[in-house]
Every structure is written in structure tokens, then in C-alpha cells.
Amino acid sequence: MNEVGNFFKSAFSVDNIIFGFDDGDLKVLLIKRGQEPFKGRWALPGDLVYPNEDLETSANRVLEELTGLRNVYLEQVHTFGAVDRHPLGRVITIAYFSLVKISDFNIMPASFAKTAQWHSVVKAQNTRLAFDHNIILNKCFQVLKQRVRTRPIGFELLPPKFTLTELQHLYEAILEISLDKRNFRKKILSMNLLKDLDEFQEGVPHRPAKLYEFDKERYRQFEAEGFSFEVKEGKRKEKKRLMETMGISID
């Protein structure tokens, strides 16, 4: 058996499903494979895990090498290990997803564009990706959907300042449902996770919307309390869930 054959006898990799939001659409960052197997196909960015590297470190490295970004939201989703998932040997892969602000990508190096490209998640799901990456993408999207209902992580995908409508469109894109504007605003604002900046959009051909900022401090506070908060007066519930549902309950 040759070198490559030995190499792939048994190995593990990470794949990092990088989600972004732009143009009212949820996107995923894919890489065009330059070599076999699956040369020319789009694939999820990933790499073998280095011997001296924790899994999460590895997932972060994949992200940073590709985008230059650090300290983004990262979550382990699932490990895929079907015997035949890699044509060259036994490779299991640990899938993570990241949430990034596409606005940060303005500073991307030129070399980037050659191989990496944002794709609409829905379209990518209907494209034949390399390896078992369709399955992985589906699973990550499904977990993202669920996560967004129970934790206020949507902000990770938006620029620092955003409007409520942008936020609503984000939730609609992820959940693939439409939400009622008034109810959405009531709920989001009642969470007290947004700072009203008293600034407004500029250069829009309509009434400019108010800009908000995510209150990271308050988020950390909620995080510590498991995303629920004390109710001041009411004697009914001791704690109140922070999110849950965020609209109509369809899974």
C-alpha cells in the first residue's frame, strides 16, 4: 500500500459549516475542490485534525485560514462516520457550524474568491456536494433552526448595527416561515437584548429605520442564567423563558 493509502487508513477531520446572512438570504460558505476525489464539486470547508490540536481549535483554524476571522460563534453539531463516506479510507468527520457577519468579509484577500464562495443554503441543499456534505449541511441547518428558537444567536449573523426588519428577515430565512411584524417586534424588544442607538438608516429610498445594537453584556448575563430570567412581580412563574418559538411553531 502506498503512502496515501496508509495515511487514510483511519483519520478524523473537522468540517466547518459557515453560515452568513446577506440580501435577505441565509448563505453557506463552500469551497470548490481543486483535486480528486470530487474535483470541481463544491464542498464544506474542513481539514484533518492535527495531532496536537483540540477539535474546536481545529474548527476555528479552518475558519481562520479561510476567512481570517476569529472569535466567532462556533458549535459542534454531529459526527459523521459512515464506513464508506470517504472514498480513500476511513475518515470520520466532526461537523461544526459557525455564524459570521458577511459584512466582515469586505477585507477578504483576493485569493479567497478563487475557491470559496457564498451559496444560498437552500440552493446548496439542492446541489450535489462532495462526499456526504449534503447530509452534513442538512443536519447543521436543522440544528441551526432549532438553536435559533432557543438562544438569541441570530445577532451573530448581522452587522453590528441593524434594523428590526433585518433581524426579522434573518429569522424568517433561518426558520423558513414568515413572521408577524408587530408580534416579532414586541417579543424581541421584550427580551431587552437590543440597545436602541437612536440612529437611523441613511440613503434608503423610504422612511429610515431605527438602528439597534446587540447588547452583549446582557446576553452574557442571560447565558449565565440559562437564557431565562426572573420575573419581578408575577407570582405565577418564577422564571420566564427568554425565547422559545419566536413566531409560529412549525418544525
Partner DNA sequence: TCAAAAGTGTTTGGGTTACACCCATGA
Partner DNA sequence: TCATGGGTGTAACCCAAACACTTTTGA
Contacting residues toward a copy of itself, per CB under 8 A: 3-4, 6-12, 48-49, 51-55, 76, 78-79, 81-83, 90, 92, 94, 226-228, 237-241, 244, 248-251
- When asked if residue 186 is in the footprint of DNA (CB under 7 A), the reply is yes
Which among DNA, a copy of itself, none contacts residue 182 (Cβ within 5 to 8 A by kind)?
DNA
Length of the chain: 251
For residue 115, what is its C-alpha cell?
A: 475557491
48 binds DNA (CB under 7 A): no
| The entry of a copy of itself, DNA, none that residue 185 binds, CB within 5 to 8 Å by partner kind | DNA
Work out what residue 186 binds among DNA, a copy of itself, none; the CB cut-off runs from 5 to 8 Å by kind.
Answer: DNA
Name the 3-class secondary structure at 42: strand
Query: Smaller CB distance to DNA: residue 50 or 200?
Result: 200
The residue range among 3-11, 36-44, 160-168, 219-227 that interacts with DNA, by the rule CB under 7 A, is: 160-168
45 CA to centre of own chain = 13
The binder of DNA chosen from 31, 102, 164, 177 (CB under 7 A): 164
The stretch among 61-69, 118-126, 181-189, 213-221 that binds DNA (CB under 7 A) is: 181-189
Pick one of 180, 199, 223, 225: the residue that binds DNA (CB under 7 A). 180
Which residue is listed with cell 440580501? 23
Distance from CA of residue 109 to its chain's centroid? Answer: 21
Contact 234, 241 (CB under 8 A): no
Does 237 sit near DNA (CB under 7 A)? yes
Q: Is 247 in the site for DNA (CB under 7 A)?
A: yes
Residue showing cell 451573530: 156
**Distance separating alpha carbons of residues 105 and 69, to the nearest angstrom:** 9
83 binds, among a copy of itself, DNA, none (CB under 5 to 8 A by kind): a copy of itself
CB atoms within 10 A of CB 109: 9
Q: What is the DSSP string of 184-224?
A: HHHHHHHTT-EEEEEEE--S-SSSPPEEEEE-HHHHHHHHH
Helical (H) or strand (E) element with 175 = helix 164-175
Alpha-carbon Rg for the chain in angstroms: 20
Is residue 197 involved in binding DNA (CB under 7 A)? no
Q: Using CB distances below 5 to 8 A depending on partner kind, what does residue 250 bind out of a copy of itself, DNA, none?
A: a copy of itself
- Candidates 73-81, 87-95, 153-161, 229-237; binding stretch for DNA (CB under 7 A): 229-237
Assess whether the previous peptide bond of 159 is cis (omega < 30° from 0): no
Quick one: which of 99, 148, 138 has its CA closest to 247? 148
Residues that bind DNA (CB under 7 A): 163-165, 180-183, 185-187, 200, 203-210, 231, 233-238, 240-241, 244-245, 247-249
